[in-house]
A and B are shown apart, each in its own frame.
Chain A
Amino acid sequence: MNSKTQNKIAIGGLYGIAGLVVLILLALLGYILVSGVPQLSWHFLTAPGKAFLKGGGVGIQLYNSFYLLILAMLISFPIALGAAIYLYEYAKDNWVTTTIRTAIEILSSLPSVVVGLFGFLFFVVKLHLGFSILSGAFALTFFNLPLLTRSIEDSLRTISDVQREGGLALGLSRWETVTRVILPAAVPSILTGVILSAGRVFGEAAALIYTAGQSAPALDFTDWNPFNISSPLNPMRPAETLAVHIWKINSEGIMPDAKAISSGSSAVLVIAILLFNFAARYLGKRLYKRLTSA
């Protein structure tokens, strides 16, 4: 067999594998969307759930998902940004940074159910936070922090060292160089990383089952005082998210339309995550364009 035919066979094989992956993905997406989209309606997206009757919605779960996402991002983004700046811009390569990097590596490969159980033992039980949005947000922070830190560090790495030297040569301090030259240039790629990780957090269930809890008490959307128990802003209330909801009704749902609600919820989840991904690409590209051209 000459190398030309060999090459052809190899390319054919690779195309085949790639095609298979795409096919599986499309089939999966198609199945979820085809069985889920017909369930979607304004009522489904906004109404509270019903435990025993038909016709409940996922309004509260959907709201909880977003609220948890925002809280988790508010906590984890500043920490991840600081850690990434320290690791990439300041730290020398020595055993301390090697240890930190290894820790991040290990944390990022922890199964999320382990993170959830840790969150349960530490935040829910030990710190007496109970099944609450706050416990959930902390668990999500643990889940999100390693990957977000790595993604921001990668964003900083894409900015060439000649930019740093350019800043220093103008008499800027290292801090000024990082904040005025490097970070602005890295914004598009940092933003892409943040949105992509938001998609992962949004779809996370295992880390939340034992931290944010599995119940979605009714919310009063006219009460925005965070200290009231039925206020949507109250961070101490249990808050089942959409992803947890799907898991819950599939394992113990007793409403007559459990299957339909599960399909509908899955479709909402998938669509939201797809939107996050497209938004990441779009915004990243747009920002980059704005930086590089007129």
Chain B
Amino acid sequence: MFVNNDVKNAMAMEERHVIKLSDPDHPVILSTEDLHVYYGKKEALFEGDLEFASNQITALIGPSGSGKSTYLRSLNRMNDRIATVTGKIMYRGVDINQPSIDVYEMRRRVGMVFQRPNPFAKSIYDNIAFALRLRGVTGKHKLDEIVETSLKQAALWDQVKDDLNKSALALSGGQAQRLCIARAIAIKPDILLLDEPASALDPVSTGQLEDTLLSLKEHYTIIIVTHNMQQAARISEYTAFFNQGRVLEYDTTSHIFTNPSVQVTSDYVSGNFG
């Protein structure tokens, strides 16, 4: 029987498509179960159940207002005083969305980089070192070493190694954002959350930032929100598509971009809306 290709596609289209991970080389390090987020009475995230593979980059995409930031900020409890978050966030077998969790300790394992670069009004060196000092890392030698490795991992060392005592506020946008990454990885987290980290950067800085992220995944699990679909396609292994507060589709990045299972995803990645 002859069936039009479009019709066949439409018949095959699902409402929602979320895979479970099963890659023994990259076991699940973080997952959410039945996550709901409310701003006051308004529900902004209806269901988020995703798994994140260790030492891989996962991209969260979707139209603006679809709940990507809401979801990401829940992962290290940055929404604590802003929203009500229900459901489980399992990190290495522990539900970190319980009141008894020491959030400060947890955030040292699950670091975050924000959309707007936010270097502190301190020297470049102190931007990285001061949080370490607060946690009892002392000794100039040891601090020097951590500052250097962090800046190198963030691909900023060569540009600032002679200006470590200068104010971080004088850095360009791209440099400032990489300093924020260096600052986040200096405290040796497991997971790095990034919320549109390149949206304030020019294309060259964006490219450098992407290279940095690709080299970082050897040591860190990276979850990145991006509105830039090419970026998601370039750097991530897995992609989750958010729409109106729901995860509509989660699969490998190649699946999402070449052969999505959900019609809305297909429309979005082909630029038909959003």
A-side interface residues toward B, CB under 8 Å? 160, 162-163, 165-173, 176, 180-181, 184-185, 290-294
Contact B107 A171 (CB under 8 A): yes
Given A162-B118, A184-B122, A291-B121, A170 and B131 contact (CB-CB distance below 8 Å):
yes
Q: At the interface, yes or no: B104 with Cβ under 8 Å from chain A?
A: yes
**Mask for B168-183, Cβ within 8 A of A = 1, else 0?**
0110000000001001
Contact B131 A171 (CB under 8 A): yes
Chain B residue, CB-CB nearest to A92: B81
SS class, residues of chain B in contact with chain A: mixed
B116 CB contacts on chain A under 8 angstroms: 162
24 A-B contacts (beta carbon < 8 Å): A162-B116, A162-B118, A163-B118, A163-B121, A165-B118, A166-B119, A166-B120, A168-B78, A168-B107, A169-B78, A170-B107, A171-B104, A171-B131, A171-B135, A171-B187, A172-B104, A172-B134, A176-B134, A291-B121, A291-B122, A291-B169, A293-B166, A294-B166, A294-B170
Contact A166 B114 (CB under 8 A): yes
Chain B residue, CB-CB nearest to A169: B112
B180 CB contacts on chain A under 8 angstroms: 166
Chain B residue, CB-CB nearest to A187: B121
Residue pairs across A and B with CB atoms within 8 Å: the count is 73
Q: How far is the CA of A294 from the CA of B162 in the complex (A)?
A: 12
Contact A181 B114 (CB under 8 A): no
Q: At the interface, yes or no: B267 with Cβ under 8 Å from chain A?
A: no
B-side interface residues toward A, CB under 8 Å? 76, 78, 104-108, 111-114, 116, 118-122, 130-131, 134-135, 163, 166-167, 169-170, 180, 183-184, 187
B130 CB contacts on chain A under 8 angstroms: 180
B114 CB contacts on chain A under 8 angstroms: 162, 165-166, 169
Contact B118 A170 (CB under 8 A): no
18 more A-B contacts (CB under 8 A) besides A166-B120, A166-B183, A294-B167? A162-B114, A163-B118, A163-B120, A166-B118, A166-B119, A166-B180, A168-B107, A169-B107, A169-B111, A171-B104, A171-B135, A172-B131, A185-B121, A291-B167, A292-B167, A293-B167, A294-B163, A294-B170
